[in-house]
Structure 1
Amino acid sequence: MSLDSLFQQVLLTEQQQSEQIQKLKDVKVSIIKCNEKIKNATEKYENIKEELNKKAPRLCILRLQCDLMRKTEDLMLKHIEELSCQRNHLGESLAKIRRESKEEEEHFLQEISGFNRDFSLQGNKVTLLESQTRSELQLLQREEEALHKEMEAMTAENDHMRAAAEEKNALLLDLEVVKNTERVSAWLLILPPFAFPPSAVSSFSGDEILPRLLSIEPRC
């Protein structure tokens, strides 16, 4: 083997080696990328798993509630059916009772009519009505008499009060006259004799004496 061929073979080997190294680098890069993807996928899986674990109890509770609501709905439907049957039964019983009561009422009215015809209670009914009317008229007459008596008593009381008021006014007038007379007598005692002549005093009325006495100026 010549030196040139050996050199070319070495170069070829180095070239192949460099290509393989590059391929290995590419493979390593791909492996790193795949590992990152796997890591990200694993993290997502763990997060989803954790969320599912958190939601699992709530899901169980919701399932239990759903089952309970379904059972409650079934019970309510059965209860509604029972109530509907009871309502129909009660409606039939009520209709029967109404029919029986109506028949009994008609039978009772027929018996009453026959009894009235047999014993002539229609005439007694008219007599009873007349008696009640007469009693009411008598009661109204008694009330009218009581009202008349009360009005007469009130009139007599008013007359008595009017007479008492007139008597009171007359007594007040007499008292005023007496007071005026006493005042005049007192003034006549303290006045000098020449203030009023006796003839003038006798000519004054009771209402004129007191103003004239008050108009006199006292003398020392």
Structure 2
Amino acid sequence: MLEVTAIAKNFGGLKVLQDVSFTAGSGMVTALIGPNGAGKSTLVNLIAGVLRPTNGTVLLDGVDITGMSPVKVFEAGVARTFQVSGNVSELNVFECVALAAYRRARGYREANRLAREQLERFDLWQYRREAIGDIPSAMVRIVDFARGLVSQPKVLLLDEVMAGLTPHEVDIVIERVRECRAEGIAIVMIEHVMQAVNALADKAVVLNHGRIVTEGALAEVTAHPDVREAYLGAA
């Protein structure tokens, strides 16, 4: 269980997030949605330890991980993907995934085994020797997802992992996310591809101007008048 309570983030006089609270349960997909600039990626960066909050707390299974370094947050069980891939372009596909496996692996043999399992699961094994910098950006996003999953996290943060994918590729990732959910992983997903949000979200949390507008079932929140205005503007 991920619990975010009264999180705020200021950059100087700019208040990017204010009093944001929500929970993400194990075995559930929580979608963070809202217009560009709403504060979604900043919120994910706070959870992952890339940024320190101005106020508020982040708990993982009741343990306070607020303000921990990204390495410590990862070791605690929070994995993530990035809008701009966190993979190193000189590494090949296999190396990127195997490196992440060391959070759980007891040695390089087990890390290699776990990496192979994930690459086969995502139909990426044939590309294992390709440098990350030499494969299409859409494929990099899928490698990023496999890299996050191989660490066997408690919480997986997906930051627009579907962006740029074909409908077929989106379907593949949707199935992998469903498998994660079935394994009891708490998934927090920033996503603009509504095909994926509709297929996956157990709960949606809507952000606008750094605050939560509403949260609940996707059908309920998208019918909310403030959500419609945030996306479409006032009539």
**Structure-2-length-normalised TM-score:** 0.15
Q: When you count helix as a share of all residues, which structure comes out higher?
A: 1
